A = this chain, B = another copy of it.
Amino acid sequence: MKAGGAATPQMMRRVNAHAALAFLRTTGVATGTDLMAATGLTRASVIAVCEDLLRRGWISELDSGRETGSLKGRPARRFELNPRAGFVVGIDIGAATTTAVVADLRGTIVGKASRSFRSAEIPARERIEVVNQACGEALAEAGTGPAAVLAVTAGLAAPVDRDGNVLLTKQFWRKFDVGLRTALAERHGWRVLLENDANLAALGERWRGSGVGVNDLVVILASERMGAGIIESGRLLHGHSGAAGEMGYLDMIEGVGSADGIAYLAREWFARPGEPPTVEAREVFAAAAAGDPAAVLVMDRLAERVARVIASVAIMANPEQVVLGGAVADSAGVLLPGIMERLPRFTATVPRVTASPLGDSIVTVGAVRHALDYVEAHALDLELPAGT
């Protein structure tokens, strides 16, 4: 039996450096005294940690103009995260398009680029090439290059386990996964982390969405496909093979015959009998908002369906809040009343339900947060690129 343990003095410093960096990221500028309060360490320790981070280039010290705090006493040294000491890349890889964003160490998006795939069936090699181009373009917009990238997180619509391995899914994604990782690692020396897109959406909402600071949060990403990202006690749930919250099959439980997502169903249901469902989901949402009876009926069926999904996750994970992201977020204004009305019939623990404000960037924002988490936790192990 391996006990994992083995705490070393170096671990302490890593933990404390992580705490200091995380604090500096959120506050911008902080004095030693601020950091003492935030970390619980003594002044000497705080200064030692800061000197360490200064020496390695992670933070810088401002001229001691006294901007904040009290006006008495010796002016405090003010430390600041060096935002452009390095960058992270967040990638959303969908079936039809991919988006890469570049963010600095404070999480500010400084570059963004999207590309469409020639078709949904292109080989992995070509797909990787397109993703790589998007990264290059985003980096160019950010005014930096591959050498400044400290970590990359890519979101996929497939189960990804805790170690970033893609399992349990089409051979296609499995090839793609390894291919992407090795291609970017070999070409640029990047550390590439993979994660499920709904999981990243959850991280995004908790960071900059409608679930800021909520430690038991579920994000339901529902567009062409449906998946839940579940955060419990501040940690992402993966499950044994990374499929936690993957609801491709949930329809079977509910007796609905299709494994497709919300937008698809809206189209399908709204189509005139006999005609092919060509109408766009957005149009259905708009028609419902305008009062079209057929569209209203469709929205009611959607609300029922989403309410059942929320209830199911509420029973199993008991989140404080559920955020709807993806295509449903567009129609949340119409859907939410119908959802909230039904929820008490399905579950005793009704969560707060909101719509995502992040729109299309829900996955990339989460990918940035994920990559930054990695970077902050490994700050003292990572070598910053020279000359910043």
- Chain A residues with CB under 8 Å of chain B are 1-9, 11-12, 15-16, 18-20, 22-23, 26-27, 38-41, 159, 162, 168, 215-216, 228, 230, 232-233, 235, 237-250, 252-254, 308, 311-313, 315-320, 345-349, 351
Contacts and interface: CB of A to CB of B under 8 A. Distances in A.
A199 to B, nearest CB: 12
Contacts of A215: 240
Task: Name the residue among A228, A237, A250 with the largest chain B CB count within 10 angstroms.
Answer: A237
14 contacts: A1-B22, A1-B23, A6-B40, A7-B15, A168-B348, A216-B239, A237-B237, A240-B320, A247-B315, A248-B348, A252-B311, A252-B346, A252-B347, A253-B253
Contact of A240 (B7, B38, B249, B319): B319
- The 4 A-B residue pairs with the shortest CB-CB distance, nearest first, are A239-B318, A5-B19, A6-B40, A240-B320
A9 B6 contact: no
A240 B216 contact: yes
A38 B346 contact: no
Contacts of A18: 5
A316 B317 contact: yes
A267 B307 CA distance: 32
A158 to B, nearest CB: 12
A311 B39 contact: no
B246 A318 contact: yes
Given A230-B316, A243-B318, 9 more contacts: A3-B39, A5-B39, A5-B41, A6-B40, A7-B15, A162-B233, A216-B240, A232-B237, A249-B348
A139 to B, nearest CB: 30
Task: Name the residue among A159, A240, A351 with the largest chain B CB count within 10 angstroms.
Answer: A240
A156 to B, nearest CB: 16
Given A22-B3, A253-B308, A244 B346 contact: no
B5 A345 contact: no
Nearest to A21: B3
A8 B247 CA distance: 43
B6 A240 contact: no
B242 A318 contact: yes
A320 B243 CA distance: 11
A128 to B, nearest CB: 26
A7 B9 CA distance: 9
A238 B243 contact: no
Given A1-B23, A253-B312, A39 B244 contact: no
Contact of A5 (B16, B312, B317): B16
Contacts of A239: 216, 232, 317-319, 349
A6 to B, nearest CB: 4
Contacts of A9: 9, 12
Contacts of A15: 5, 7
B3 A12 contact: no
Task: Name the residue among A12, A18, A228, A232 with the largest chain B CB count within 10 angstroms.
Answer: A232
A206 to B, nearest CB: 13
Contact of A249 (B11, B38, B346): B346
A14 to B, nearest CB: 8
Contacts of A346: 249, 252-253
A317 to B, nearest CB: 5
Given A232-B244, A240-B319, A249-B346, A7 B11 contact: yes
